[in-house]
Amino acid sequence: MPDDKTDIYMLGIHVYCKTNKNEKIEWTKFNNINIYTSGTHAIYIGKKSINDILSYLNNNKIDLPIDEWLKKFNPWIWYGDLSDNGMFRGLYKQLNINCENVFSLEGPINNKI
């Protein structure tokens, strides 16, 4: 893990079928990703970052879902293997969700019910 495990690390993200298998698998900062993403399935927060977050919360509040709110801190993202269904990059797969059947998510997918 980069930065000696002191930062915030998201171990996967939703990419909504906007990436391809040929893209480099690596740790990257959230602000370096140029497509719409959301969510994560696992977060590691290093001790230094826990202190930074607590200091931030002295004058601010959490106003988004935690995985979205943490993006304010430009976390590291494991831009890992692309799932077979194209929806996710990271360590884990999520079953029964793919680009053709997502009805509960707002965002780049045109939901048709």
Domain ranges of the chain: 2-90
Place of tokens 């801190």: 73
* 113 residues of the chain, pLDDT tens digit each: 898 889 999 999 988 888 888 999 999 999 999 998 888 889 999 999 999 999 999 999 999 999 999 999 999 999 988 888 888 898 876 666 677 765 555 555 444 44
List, for residues 55-75, the tens digit of each pLDDT value: 999 999 999 999 999 999 999
Cβ–Cβ < 8 Å for 99, 17: yes
Rounded to an integer, what distance in angstroms lies between the CA atom of residue 89 and that of residue 93? 8
Cβ–Cβ < 8 Å for 14, 38: yes
Average pLDDT, the chain: 85
Beta strands 43-45; 8-10: pairing state: antiparallel
Whether this model's pTM surpasses 0.95: no
Instruction: Tell whether the torsion through CA atoms of 74, 75, 78 and 82 is positive or negative.
Output: negative
